[in-house]
A and B are shown apart, each in its own frame.
Chain A
Amino acid sequence: QSALTQPASVSGSPGQSITISCTGTSSDVGGYNYVSWYQQHPGKAPKLMIYEVSNRPSGVSNRFSGSKSGNTASLTISGLQAEDEADYYCSSYTSSSTLGYVFGTGTKVTVL
């Protein structure tokens, strides 16, 4: 179960849009529409931001959106705000080696 690949860091100025990529294989990201995204502030538990590739749970800002193409999923944050500075992780259901889930390597988002 190898981790999904994310960029280590992404930065942007307030009001800008940024995109975080999440690359897997046909056994996980490419094979299922079960990609989710999580925001984690320091010392806090992760929070679900996107599920099933592009769906937002109730209460999550519509500035957050998700998409997928082939084996790569993406999270876009538009209208970047200071409170968006956090670590972001993608996750996918996987059928490689054993059924289960796999997380991405994580991306630190910095608001300049």
Chain B
Amino acid sequence: QVQLVESGGGVVQPGGSLRLSCAASGFTFSSYGMHWVRQAPGKGLEWVAFIRYDGSNKYYADSVKGRFTISRDNSKNTLYLQMNSLRAEDTAVYYCAKLDWFAFDYWGQGTLVTVSS
């Protein structure tokens, strides 16, 4: 069965950096595009970034463009999100999600990122 397990969350100061990882199993990771989606405490879902199955194209929400970088290592079945210049408004649970049918068909359990001094 499909499993997505995020890690790397934690508390970081404003202006700091953090790298999230998402370990995938149960499907052919190298054949699917992948997303990062976040949810601030008590708020709705916000799409963050997408990477094609082969890493050839990447797309970002305006709110993170230039600060976040999505990447993947298909040999390790792992998705990454490098987050730099973090701000208080980046505080959220970050989910990785698999793309199919132009939808987010499987989600991880999420990892919490808190940006605070």
Chain A interface (Cβ < 8 Å from any Cβ of B): 1, 3, 32, 34, 36, 38, 40, 45-48, 51-52, 55, 57, 89, 91, 93, 97-106
Contacts and interface: CB of A to CB of B under 8 A. Distances in A.
A51 B45 contact: no
B47 A91 contact: yes
Nearest to A106: B44
Majority SS at the chain B contact face: strand
Q: How large is the interface on B (under 10, 10 to 19, 20 to 34, 35 or more residues)?
A: 20 to 34
Ordered nearest first, which 5 A-B pairs have the shortest CB separation?
A: A36-B103, A34-B102, A51-B103, A45-B107, A106-B44
Nearest to A107: B44
B47 A100 contact: yes
Contacts of A40: 45
A52 B110 CA distance: 25
Nearest to A92: B102
B53 interface: no
A47 B37 CA distance: 13
Given A36-B102, A45-B109, A45-B110, A101 B47 contact: yes
A104 B102 contact: no
Nearest to A49: B103
Contacts of B59: 98-100
